[in-house]
Amino acid sequence: MPRSTKKVTDKKPQKRDLTDYSPTKTKSTTKTTQKIPRKIDPKFAKIQHLKTKKPVKPSTESTSLTEKVVKVDEATTEDTYKRIHLTTEALLEQILASGKPSFEIPSRSSSNIVWDETQDLLLLGDKMIKRPFHSLASVVDATRLMRLIEIVHELLLKDIHATKREIYYTDVELFEDQKYSDKIIEDLAAMLKVIRNSTHIVASAKGACIGRLKIRDSGDEIDLTRGSGGWSISPFLDRIEIVESDAEFILVVEKDAALIRLSEAKWWEEYPCIILTGKGSADIATRMFLRLLTKELDLPCFCLVDSDPYGHYIYSVYLRGSKRLGYESPFLATPSLKLLGVLSRDLDQYDIPKKCRLRLTKADEKRTKEMLNEPFVRKNLNWVEDLELMLSLKSKAEIQALSSHGFEYLTDNYLPTKLSTGDWI
Amino acid sequence: MVQKTKTERNRGQKKSQSLKKANSADSENTFEAVKEKELKSIKQTGVIKQGTIAEFMRKRTQLVGFDIGYHKHTQYMAEFVDNSLDAIEICYWKYPKIYRLKEDFYFEYPKLEPLKDEDITAKNLILRMNELLEPLKDILNTEPLVVIRLQEIEKPEMLSDEQASDTRMFSFECFDNGIGLVPTDLEKFGKYLASSKSEQLKQTRGSQGFGASSAFSDAQNTTGRPITVISRHVENKKATLTCFFTTSKNQKDYTIPPSEIRVPFQHGTYVRLFYLNVRYIRGYADDYIKQTALLNSHISIVYIDPYGDVMVFPRRVTKFPNEPKYAKPHPASSSIGDFKEMLRTAKDSSIVNFLEQKFVRMSRDRAKKIVEKANKELGGFKGLNSKAPSELVEKEIRALTRVLNKQKSCLNRLAPSEFKQYLSEQKQKSILEVLSKDFPEVPKKRYKNLLKKLKLEKKTTDELSSEEIELIQSTARNEIYCPTLISFKAFKDLCNNGGDRTIYELFTEEFCKINYNSARKIIFEADKKLNYKSLNTKTVKELKKREIDVLFKLISELVEASEINNKTEFLNLLNSGKNRTISSVLQDIKGLGKSKAGEIIEKANETLQYKTLLNAKSGELTTKEIKAIYSSLMELDKCPAAITANMLEKLLKSASTTNLGTFLHRNFMDVNTKLAEQIVEEANDQLGGHISLENIPPNELDEDQMNALYKTFISEKYLAPPTDTVVPVGAEILERVIKKHFEPQFVAAETRSPTSGKGLAFVVEVAIAYGGKIKDASKAADVIYRFVNRTPKLRDNSDCAIWKTVAKVNWKNYKVDTFDNGIPKGKIRVFVNVSGPFVHVMFKSQSKQALADDEVLMKEIQLALESAGRRLKAFLLGKEKSKRKARRALTLLKNVKTFAQSLYNIECKDFTTDKHIPGKPTLEEIEARLSSPIKEDIKPDVLNVLTEQWITITEIIEDLGLETLKDKFVKDLIVDVLKDLSIEYNIIEGASSKEIIETFKNQDDPATDQLILETLRMHDMKFLNCKTCDLGKDKNSCAHFNPDHKECPIERGIYNSFTSELKSTYHLDPINDEILLDYLGMLEVQIERNHRLNKSTKNLDAQKEQFLADLQTNSSKSTGISRVKNGAALAFSELIKNGDKKLFWRIKRPDLKSILPNDEFTLESLLEMNFPNLKGGHLTQKDEFVKKVLQNTLDDLIDEGIIMQTKKKGVYRRIKSR
């Protein structure tokens, strides 16, 4: 029988008053999330400034989406279960009436992706596609979907989770390839108007996190300042509790290599922060975790990616969600994320030698131009400027290019300079 | 002799003809030699013998298709079946009510016991015929019927063993209930070139009068047995039986002279003969019959083959084709040979009539135009009109001379014999009368003198003796001089002997044709030559003063004329007529006559000392003077009658004019311009040209004239020939018949509108049948069915225009695959029929097997094929669509189970107890609901495929185009769909093995045979191979296994002993019955094996028993193939019963409305009516089903208000319409 999942963090985070800051304050061991007070480093003046300027973020619950978009909920197990039955009952009725059942799924084609300006989020439009059983084009998808519903139904009943891979292996003959089952999984979530986590299908997470943060994972407390590899982000985020943190900001890096560099330098000791990586393009769990952190701790967060179109794209995914999962944007996106580097203008500013720069390929140029066409990019003039600069320089560089000035350059010079001067987008 | 008589004309022509022959002899060197040879051969007896057509054809029957081989059987069929069909059609056209054609007609013919070869006596013959016709006695006189029986009988003793080893003797019988022959026609029947059709052009099957006679020749040549013909004409009370040989003299040698007998039929003909040929096999003669039946579906045909099997082709339509009209030949189709032949035999009075009446599309005006043109053609190439006189050649000069000579009748020039002839034709007329009237150039007086001299003046023409006639002529020749012909010497003598007579008197008295004026003219000319001056020749203008004075003096002296009183008056007179002769002016003076004027001029001449020959005495003339006179005489216009070729040539050479007409006018006496033209024309005629053809009867034309006429005739443009002479089968009938015969899934027939190419009116019809019961053709020849005037053509395939055209069509365009030679391939049959009265012209050879490649014909065939092809393409595309639909259904259905299961699990199953939640639909329900729309979608397609014959599930799948998806799922789906449909659409599933055997036995389809044989062959693959022996303990090896032979020796032993027993018991032939022996041997092995393995052998035993029983009944009359087939059908039925092959049959609802009895009826009585598409011949087990169908139909009819139920239960009655 369905068990209701309990939200771990049902308490609202305390509003932080920066003026209340006291360095003498001891670490709080209460459940309530607390920050470890530290003296204000002049290096972070800009960050403080950012904080004060930060607009009051509307809570997820009260997210009022415009009429024309599909409302997606982070539904409880019971709720999802009910929704499934609503769907199947309707199907059965159709079968008994005409013998010709048909699914209705919100279209996830790019034409049905809407950018919500007020909230700065990518959302799904109200365009629906039909997936009738009696059509050669959709019969296989319809059957797969039906089968998936059965599987999810079982997951919900048993209150267990399964990864996408597991789903695929429950009926390899039917699904043929994991890419098809993955697609159907997204279809199902969209159809039920729940986020994917509500279907008890979890993505295998590859992200890692390290820094000034204490969490409780399935009851075990973990201090993320310990160790060098960081904590692997768990896909079961509903079992994670954030205990405490004294970080001043969150730093999202694109690659594992950067994380290792920072972890080796124990960078967070000097610059109190939480470092997080999605190891390339961020998976859902990582993005949700980042969102959870920013929501709970209310910290400014920065993103360090390669100076190439792909890096900018990764940033944009953290920022607004991917197009594919547009409807889940409210639950995945971190609109307050700032792009710290490496910016195109940094290449000259930090004297990245020519040998460390790469030429933009045709595909890069195309991708850049595509990004420039995105409405949310165009709204940020600084970003536009930097992308255009990239186009005119016709060169790109990885984070590692900074190592040309020495391996410590990133930790000792670049990041501090950027942060202290407020040189971000 | 002035009018030209007809005989004269003809004579002229004949002359010119012989002239031409001589000319051609010049050009051909061999001509003389040939002529010599001819002469010699006439003189000697010669080596060349004149044969007769009968003699010729008797030895060369292979020319018309009777060469030994499988096709010879066909040829016999062809000749007599065609004759029979014609006889029936003629009978129908003459007596349309003789046959009952109202309803569709079905009948059966039992298998007869073969009769023994008996002596040919009248009694035996009649017995035999009656036996043949007995099963048909009910329909013998009402149903158009042809019965053919071919039997192999014992070889005649007289044949040597060698001859007999590979040939067999056949008895051939053909009966038709057509119009029959009257005894006189019967007398002629079988003689060469005796044909009822060859006279006129008509769309007929044959026309030459060779067919039957050649067949007779071949029959008696090979067997030495006589031919029997029994015939009863429709209007005769009794039939006539004859039995005869035909002789090389084209006569009949009767063994049984014509004798009257009683026969069971009221009209018809029965022919029986024997012939030798190779063994009969199927695929030739039977094909011919089959194909004939196809296009002659208005006639029922029964064929009993040498195996004793009966093929019945019942009539399929209720209408006979219309009688084709006799057709006149179209000018464009007439060859020069035909044309000349027609001319020679024509009895028309004129060429115009001939043309108008013998040809179609020939109006009188057009015929006249053609003749006119031909006239021009004839005159145009050797006319004299266009030539200058000097250009004339000797031949032409001679011709011209002849014509000129004819212009005047001259006694001198007339040959004595002709003169005699002429005189003898005159009846009792006075000789003088005749001469003066018909030879008027000489005055009557002179003839009188002449005759007086000869003392013949009182005699009439018939009193004259031959000598006297000669005397008249010779005297006339001596006495009457011809001015044109007289020689100088003769003239001089005449003058010298003239004595006192003036030259003028000589001329007028002694010469023919010289009158006063001419004589004077000659003399004055001579005067001029001699420079003699005289007033006689002068005109007034030329008078000198002295001469005027003399004249005036003389006038005033001699004439007491009051008018001329003084000289002034005289001068005035002279001035009034300046250009006139003096004599004529003088005669103007009153009282001055001609003689007086002459006297005055004479005197004046004397006074003036002028000299003229006018009055000179002929005896005193000097030679010089005579010469001058003679030369003047020669300058005189010639007498046409007297001109000779030499003289004419001289004249022509010196002619100053370029026109021959003018020349004649100027140089000949009494020839005016018009006459001159006539003379030239006639000379042209004489030269063979420019005779007006209008007046010559067609049969008298010479070669050149015929050629010229043909040339203008053929070069005209004519309207296309009329097309009412062509009677096609008709697309609708063609489609229907092919549907019934072949049971295809699709058929498209196309009849083109009548066309004419090169004057041949014809219609092309094609049909394309596809799918259904049509099997894949193994070779191109199986695909094409060629017909000409409804007659199938089986030989010389690829030579034929039809074949070539079929190969030319781009079948790929119509979604049809082809063989390498371009002929369509697959489950397709192409039928082409060319009809028309002229079609026989288009055959390539006498045996009439292949049509020549006529451009228009090929074009027509191609257009028709393409049109039908387009419809086929549409059908195939539709099939493609249904195939797609079926495939789609399969894909959908494959997902139904999963989908339904998932939905069921969520909605209708208790998760914890794993049980069905009451009130919710079951899994089956959901599945059924889900799949019903899918099945509904393909139902029409499946229905479409079903025929009114048993059809296997495999065939259905093939017809749906799903043969590539031969998995069980497909089969299940189709069976499922059929089950769904079964009641609603009257589909019967399954058949008893008896029904299956019947089905296959009755199918004379090579493809079916192939299928059956394949099945049998597959059978034996299973045995004698050790791996499947099953005897070994571990089942993988057998204790008896012999690796060398790879078979089990024990089983081989069983096989061998059983098959040898079969051979001895049933006289099976190890070669022919190989498959059969194999099958039975294997069956025995299998039974033995089952015994040993303690398995049931019940089925196998039954199979064997039935097989042997079948063999027992059939052994005497059937040969290998049919035995194998019988057995194979059995095996096949077992296979179908045991295996997963299912048979289906769709019953079409009978059209009860049209056949309901008028009185009361019950369901049972209706069932006894044996509806063709309801009972189908072999439907026994499922009669309940049939009843149900019928009951449904009756219920519908009640609803429609057509019938009603009576008070008695189960009894119905028709509601009478008001």
The pair of three-digit structure tokens given for residue B449, joined into one six-digit string: 């003198």
B261 Cβ contact list (under 8 Å, min separation 6)? B122, B126, B230, B238, B239, B240, B241
Give bridge partners of residue B169 from the DSSP assignment. Answer: B153, B276
Q: How many residues does chain B have?
A: 1218
| Tokens matching residue B558 | 């001699």
Q: What is the pLDDT of residue A52?
A: 47
B517-528: per-residue pLDDT in tens? 777 777 777 777
- At residue A253, the pLDDT reads 92
pLDDT at B616 over 90: no
Cβ-proximal residues to A73 (8 Å cutoff; 6+ apart), any chain: A79, A193, A194, A195, A198
Asked which of A37-46, B242-251, B613-622, B633-642 is least confident by mean pLDDT, the reply is A37-46
Label residue B447 by pLDDT band (50, 70, 90): confident
State how far the Cα of A223 lies from the Cα of A201, in Å rounded to an integer: 28
Three-state DSSP class for residue B1067: coil
pLDDT above 90: residue B734: no
pLDDT on residue A32 = 44
**B1188: enclosing H helix or E strand:** helix B1183-1200
Told to judge if A169 belongs to the known catalytic residues of this protein, a careful annotator would answer yes
Is B1157 an 8 Å CB contact of chain A?
A: no
Query: CB of A231 within 8 A of CB of A216?
Result: no
- B789 versus A54: which is more confidently predicted? B789
> Is the CB of residue B728 less than 8 Å from the CB of residue B689?
no
Nearest Cα neighbor of B31 from B21, B41, B40 is B21
Between strands B987-989 and B1161-1162, the pairing is: unpaired
Which of A139, A153, A157 has the CB atom closest to B891's CB atom? A139
pLDDT for residue B1000: 61
Q: Which residue of B has its CA nearest to A142?
A: B899
At B972 the pLDDT is: 80
Could you tell me the pLDDT band of residue B537, with boundaries at 50, 70 and 90?
A: low
Farthest CA pair distance, chain A = 74
Q: How do the domains of chain A map onto residue ranges?
A: 40-56+203-421, 69-202
Residues of B in Cβ contact (< 8 Å) with A136: 888, 891-892
User: Which residue in chain B is spatially nearest to A150 when comparing CA positions?
Assistant: B902
- Cis check for the bond before B1085: say yes or no (omega within 30 of 0): no
pLDDT of residue B148: 92
Q: Is the pLDDT of residue B830 over 90?
A: yes
**pLDDT given at position A120:** 63
Selected residues 929-968 of chain B with any CB under 8 Å from a CB in chain A: 929-930, 932-934
Tokens of A194: 């729940």
Q: Do B906 and A88 touch (CB under 8 A)?
A: yes
Q: B109-143 burial by CB neighbour count: b if 16+ within 10 A, else e?
A: eeebebeebeebeeeebbebbeebbebbeebbbeb
B902–chain A nearest CA distance, Å:
5
Q: Is B903 on the interface with A (CB under 8 A)?
A: yes
The span from the CA of A405 to the CA of A346, in Å, is 14
CB contact under 8 A, B892 and A134: yes
Question: Could you identify the residue written with the tokens 């040498």?
Answer: B306
Percentage of chain A beyond pLDDT 70 is 80
The answer to whether the Cβ–Cβ distance between A89 and B907 falls below 8 Å is: yes
- Out of A320-329, B319-328, B779-788, least confident range: A320-329
Element (H, E) at B603: helix B594-608
B910 touching A (Cβ < 8 Å): no
Please give the full DSSP string across A90-123, using - where no structure is assigned: HHHHHHHHTS--EEEEE--SGGGEEEETTTTEEE
| pLDDT confidence bin for B849, thresholds 50/70/90 | confident
Q: How far is A234 from chain B (nearest CA, A)?
A: 30
Residue A85 and residue B895: Cβ atoms within 8 Å?
Answer: no
Residue A275: per-residue pLDDT: 92
Among chain A, residues having any CB pair with chain B shorter than 8 Å are 84-85, 88-89, 91-92, 95-96, 98-101, 133-134, 136, 139-140, 142-143, 146-147, 149-150, 153-154, 157, 174
Tens digit of each residue's pLDDT (9 = 90 or more) over B153-182? 876 666 655 555 677 888 899 999 988 888
pLDDT of residue A22: 39
C-alpha span between B636 and B525 (Å, rounded): 10
Residues of chain B above pLDDT 90, percent:
3
What pLDDT is stored for residue B139 in this prediction? 85
Q: Specify the range with the lowest mean pLDDT, choosing from A6-15, B35-44, B62-71, B846-855.
A: A6-15
Element (H, E) at B1064: helix B1049-1066
B662-712 tens-digit pLDDT: 777 777 777 777 777 777 777 776 665 545 676 677 877 777 778 888 888
What fold does the segment set A69-202 form as a domain?
Arc Repressor Mutant, subunit A (1.10.10)
Instruction: Determine, for residues B911 and A157 on separate chains, whether the beta-carbon distance falls below 8 Å.
Output: yes
pLDDT at B696 (0 to 100): 73
Pairing of strands A220-223, B828-835: unpaired
- Best of B888, B894, B902, B925 to substitute, by most chain A Cβ atoms within 10 angstroms, is B902
Which tokens go with B782? 């199986």
pLDDT at position A143, please? 92
Other C-beta atoms lying within 10 Å of the C-beta of residue B333:
21
For the segment B43-49, the average pLDDT, to the nearest whole number, is: 62
Mean pLDDT confidence for B318-346? 79
Distances (CA, A) of B1216 to A343, B100, B418, B1165: 102, 26, 98, 20
Distance of CA A205 to CAs A202, A331, B174, Å? Answer: 9, 16, 95
Which of A49-63, A238-252, B1142-1156: highest mean pLDDT? A238-252
Q: What is the pLDDT of residue B379?
A: 59
Residue-wise pLDDT for B552-569, tens only, equals 777 777 666 556 667 777
**Which pLDDT score is estimated for A18?**
38
Residue B1019 pLDDT class (50, 70, 90 cuts): low
Residue of B885, B887, B898, B930 to mutate for A, most A C-beta atoms under 10 A: B898
How many CB atoms are located within 10 Å of the residue A61 CB?
7
Two tokens, residue B230: 């029994």
Cα B704 to Cα B339, B353, B858, distances in angstroms: 13, 20, 36
Select from B30, B20, B5 the least CA-distant residue to B707: B20
- Between the ranges A110-114, B616-620, B828-832, where is the mean pLDDT highest? B828-832
The distance between the two most distant Cα atoms of chain B, rounded to a whole number of Å, is 183
DSSP A51-94: HHHPPPPPPSTT----TTB---B---HHHHHHHHHHHHHHHHHH
Which chain B residues have a beta carbon less than 8 Å from that of A102? Answer: none
Residue with tokens 């009993």: B304
pLDDT of B15? 44
The CA distances from residue A155 to A163, A176, A195, B909, B988, in Å, are 11, 21, 15, 16, 50
Pairwise CA distance, residues B1206 & B915, whole Å:
56
Residues from chain B that touch A150, judged by Cβ atoms under 8 A, are 902-903, 905-906
**Which candidate in A81, A168, A169, A313 is catalytic?**
A169
For residue A81, give the chain B residue with the closest CA: B906
Q: Do A92 and B907 touch (CB under 8 A)?
A: yes
Task: Check whether B1165 has a pLDDT greater than 60.
Answer: yes
Question: Could you give the CA distance from residue A207 to residue A235 in angstroms, rounded to a whole number?
Answer: 10
Tell me the per-residue pLDDT of A178-187, one tens digit each, with 9 for 90 and over.
889 888 988 8
Structure tokens at B304: 């009993």
B888 touches chain A (CB under 8 A): yes
Q: Around B679, how many Cα atoms within 13 Å sit in the side-chain half-sphere?
A: 30
Higher pLDDT residue, B1179 or A303? A303
Residue B892 and residue A142: Cβ atoms within 8 Å?
no
Bigger pLDDT: A20 or A394?
A: A394
Point out the least confidently predicted range of B570-584, B1012-1026, B1027-1041, B1127-1141. Answer: B1027-1041
Task: Report chain A residues whose CB lies below 8 A from the CB of B892.
Answer: 133-134, 136, 139
Checking ipTM against 0.90, whether it exceeds it is no
* Whole-number pLDDT of residue A28: 39
Report the distance separating Cα B146 and Cα B205, nearest Å: 16
- Output phi, psi for B195, to 5 deg: -135, 145
Cβ–Cβ contact B846 with A under 8 A: no
What share of chain B has pLDDT > 70, as a percent?
A: 74
For chains A and B, CB pairs below 8 A equal: 68
- The confidence score (pLDDT) of residue B620 equals 73
3-state secondary structure B185-240: HHHHCCCCCCCCCCCCECCCCCCCCCHHHHHHHHHHHHHCCCEEEEEECCCCCCEE
- Whole-model pTM? 0.53
Decide the pairing of beta strands B909-910 and B915-916: antiparallel
Shortest distance, CA B1109 to any CA of chain A (angstroms):
55
> Of A133, A141, A157, which to mutate for an interface test with B (greatest number of B Cβ within 10 Å)?
A133
Q: Say if residue B24's pLDDT is above 50.
A: no
Please give, rounded to a whole number of angstroms, the shortest distance from the CA of B937 to a CA of chain A.
Answer: 11
Residue contact A150–B906, C-beta within 8 A: yes
Contacts of A331 (CB under 8 A, 6+ apart): A60, A72, A74, A195, A288, A291
Can you give the C-alpha Rg of chain A in angstroms? 23
How many Cβ atoms are within 10 Å of B1137's Cβ, its own excluded?
16
The pLDDT of residue B175: 92
Decide which of B143 and A121 is more confident: B143
8 Å CB contact of A150 and B902: yes
Which among A100, A140, A149 has CB closest to B906? A149
Q: How far is B909 from chain A (nearest CA, A)?
A: 12
Cross-chain residue pair A85–B907, CB shorter than 8 Å: yes
Position with higher pLDDT, B26 vs B1002: B1002
pLDDT tens digits, one per residue of A154-177: 988 888 888 888 889 988 888 888
Give residue B1030's pLDDT. Answer: 54
Ranked by mean pLDDT, the top range of B532-536, B767-771, B912-916, B933-937 is: B767-771
pLDDT at A305 over 50: yes
Q: CA-CA distance, B68 to B275, in Å (whole number)?
A: 10
- Using the Cβ of B913 and the Cβ atoms of chain A, whether some distance falls under 8 Å is answered with no
**List of chain A residues whose C-beta atoms are within 8 Å of the C-beta of residue B935:** none
Confidence tier at A274 by pLDDT (50, 70, 90): very high
Most A CBs within 10 A among B885, B907, B931, B936, hence the mutation to make, goes to: B907
Decide: B668 and B655 in contact? Cβ < 8 Å.
no
Separation in Å, CA of A1 to nearest CA in chain B: 9
Cβ–Cβ below 8 Å for A88 and B888? no
- The pLDDT confidence band at residue B39, using thresholds 50, 70 and 90, is low
Highest mean pLDDT, choosing among B811-825, B828-842, B1189-1203: B811-825
With contacts defined as CB-CB under 8 Å, which chain A residues touch B930?
95, 99, 101, 133
Mean pLDDT check: name the lowest of A238-247, A295-304, B495-504, B824-833. Answer: B495-504
Determine the pLDDT at residue B286. 86
Long-range CB pairs of B395-400, under 8 A, 24+ apart, other chains included: B395/B19, B395/B687, B396/B683, B396/B687, B397/B645, B397/B648, B397/B649, B397/B652, B398/B645, B399/B683, B399/B686, B399/B687, B400/B648, B400/B660, B400/B679, B400/B680, B400/B683
Mutate to test the interface with B, among A143, A148, A155, A171 (most CBs of B within 10 A): A143
The pLDDT of residue B522 is 78
Chain B nearest-CA distance from A48, in A, is: 54
CATH 3.40.1360.10 is right for the domain spanning A40-56+203-421: yes
Mean of per-residue pLDDT scores for chain B: 75
